[in-house]
């Protein structure tokens, strides 16, 4: 790709230092957006803007559980990388095929991006989780560096896989500046953004809302459906079973201006995840001064953070518990002082968020 002019605040890379980036095919598919894909795409663009020649290798396959044909395609992509080159590898791909990485790790400088440890995905079954962890462990012991998106994820991969802490780096996602969303007094417009999978916990959110039907609220549920069609169908069935069809709108995935409009219409972002490495939707909401009700799962508490004057910009509840979610929702909807404090804290946190240029600088330091 042709390198655009450097972004403001992004230092130029040493001239002539190429970087090869291996990502899953479909990274730009608007029907299946994910935080990991956005992170990869923004890092590719940022490294190019900083002066590096970025060579992207998008590899088709059912990652992280590839068939032999997908492994062969990955091997072909890595074979095309020159000796001694920097290779930034999405963990969803390379941690599914450590035997392929083993054939190349000695001749290239491999850096792996771990978005969420593969065995931590919910709803995959114990045997699949164990197999994924084993493959991930094998891959991460072959690389020059591991990049994670949060301190929690860094600790997690060190503990799970016995990695030297010095090998593991944190490069948190950035966030784009956005207009502040004017608050509405009653705070009844709820938004949830994420794929309909067990990990994201929208089934728990529906059960929580079914306990709050006497209160005034609406929910817009935004995210792709096809990653776990059975689970997505169960979420829709629960909405119908509880008679919530007139109050819950399931939109499918939204990106760009359409997603911006969804945030602009929201009073509260709800993130009901069972586990979460970072939670980019949290900072996307805070960038608009929209408070967040989230489970205290994984890296979310660090992402949500605290304003020094007004505290947490929302509410945190225990993960995996629809009763706790319902209590959080009820508190938000019925206690004006809670809404006021959360909105003040969100406005404070909005000024503290780091942008993508800072994330690129951190990744540059790892590559250097």
Same domain? For 153 and 240 the reply is: no
Is 32 part of any domain?
yes
Is 183 part of any domain?
no
Tell me the CA end-to-end span of the chain in Å, nearest whole number.
Answer: 21
Same domain? For 151 and 234 the reply is: no
What CATH number is given to the structural domain containing 278?
3.40.50.2000
Residue 30: band (very low, low, confident or very high) from pLDDT cuts 50, 70, 90: confident
Is 3 part of any domain?
no
Structure confidence by residue, pLDDT tens digits, 212-254 = 999 999 999 999 998 899 999 999 999 999 999 999 999 999 9
Same domain? For 127 and 60 the reply is: yes
Is 2 part of any domain?
no
Residue with tokens 């780091």: 354
Same domain? For 239 and 260 the reply is: yes
Is 240 part of any domain?
yes
Same domain? For 263 and 322 the reply is: yes
CB atoms within 10 A of CB 28: 13
Structure confidence by residue, pLDDT tens digits, 167-189 = 999 999 999 999 999 999 999 99
Taking the CA atoms of 46, 47, 48 and 54 in sequence, report the sign of the dihedral they define. Answer: negative
Domain count, the chain: 2
Same domain? For 157 and 236 the reply is: no
Residue 323 confidence (pLDDT)? 98
Best CA proximity match to 170, nearest among 147, 191, 193, 190: 147
Is 181 part of any domain?
no
Which structural domain, as residue segments, surrounds residue 160? 18-174+355-367
Label residue 62 exposed, middle or buried (CB < 10 Å: 0-12, 13-18, 19+): exposed
Same domain? For 210 and 156 the reply is: no
Same domain? For 158 and 223 the reply is: no
Q: Is the peptide bond before 64 cis (omega within 30 degrees of 0)?
A: yes
Structure confidence by residue, pLDDT tens digits, 40-51 = 999 999 999 999
H helix intervals, 110-219 = 126-140, 151-161, 202-210
Same domain? For 201 and 82 the reply is: no
Residues 6+ apart with CB under 8 A from 87: 19, 20, 21, 22, 78, 81, 104, 108, 109, 110, 111
Could you tell me the pTM of the whole model? 0.93
Residues 239/359, Cβ–Cβ less than 8 Å = no
Same domain? For 130 and 238 the reply is: no
Is 9 part of any domain?
no
What average pLDDT does this structure show over 284-297? 98
Same domain? For 141 and 58 the reply is: yes
Across the chain, mean pLDDT equals: 94
Show the 3-state SS of 215-250: CCCEEEEECCCHHHHHHHHHHHHHHHHCCCCCCEEE
The CA distance from 312 to 306, in Å, is: 4
Is 4 part of any domain?
no
Same domain? For 338 and 215 the reply is: yes
């Amino acid at each position: 790709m042709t390198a655009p002019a450097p972004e403001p605040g992004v230092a130029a890379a040493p001239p002539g230092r190429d970087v090869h980036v291996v990502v899953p095919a479909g990274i730009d598919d608007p029907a299946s957006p994910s935080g990991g894909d956005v992170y990869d795409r923004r890092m590719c663009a940022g490294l190019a803007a900083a002066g590096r020649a970025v060579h992207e290798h998008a590899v088709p396959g059912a990652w992280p559980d590839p068939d032999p044909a997908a492994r062969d395609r990955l091997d072909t992509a890595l074979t095309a990388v020159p000796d001694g080159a920097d290779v930034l590898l999405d963990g969803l791909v390379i941690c599914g095929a450590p035997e392929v990485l083993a054939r190349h790790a000695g001749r290239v400088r491999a850096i792996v991006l771990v978005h969420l440890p593969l065995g931590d995905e919910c709803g995959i079954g114990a045997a699949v989780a164990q197999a994924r962890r084993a493959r991930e462990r094998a891959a991460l012991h072959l690389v020059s560096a591991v990049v994670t998106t949060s301190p929690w994820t860094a600790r997690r991969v060190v503990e799970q896989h016995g990695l030297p802490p010095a090998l593991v780096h944190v490069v948190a996602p950035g966030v784009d500046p956005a207009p502040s969303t004017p608050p509405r007094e009653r705070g009844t417009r709820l938004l949830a953004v994420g794929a309909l999978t067990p990990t994201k916990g929208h089934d728990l959110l529906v059960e929580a809302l079914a306990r709050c039907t006497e209160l005034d609220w609406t929910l817009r549920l935004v995210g792709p459906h096809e990653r776990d069609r059975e689970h997505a169908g169960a979420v829709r069935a629960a909405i119908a079973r509880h008679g919530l069809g007139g109050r819950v709108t399931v939109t499918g995935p939204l990106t760009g201006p359409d997603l911006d409009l969804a945030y602009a219409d929201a009073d509260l972002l709800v993130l009901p995840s069972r586990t979460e490495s970072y939670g980019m939707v949290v900072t996307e909401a805070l960038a608009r001064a929209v408070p967040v009700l989230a489970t205290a799962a994984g890296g979310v508490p660090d992402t949500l953070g605290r304003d020094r004057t007004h505290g947490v910009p929302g509410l945190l509840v225990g993960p995996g518990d629809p009763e706790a979610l319902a209590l959080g929702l009820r508190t938000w909807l019925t206690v004006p002082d809670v809404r006021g404090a959360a909105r003040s804290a969100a406005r404070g946190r909005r000024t503290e968020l780091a942008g993508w240029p800072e994330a690129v600088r951190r990744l540059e330091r790892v590559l250097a």
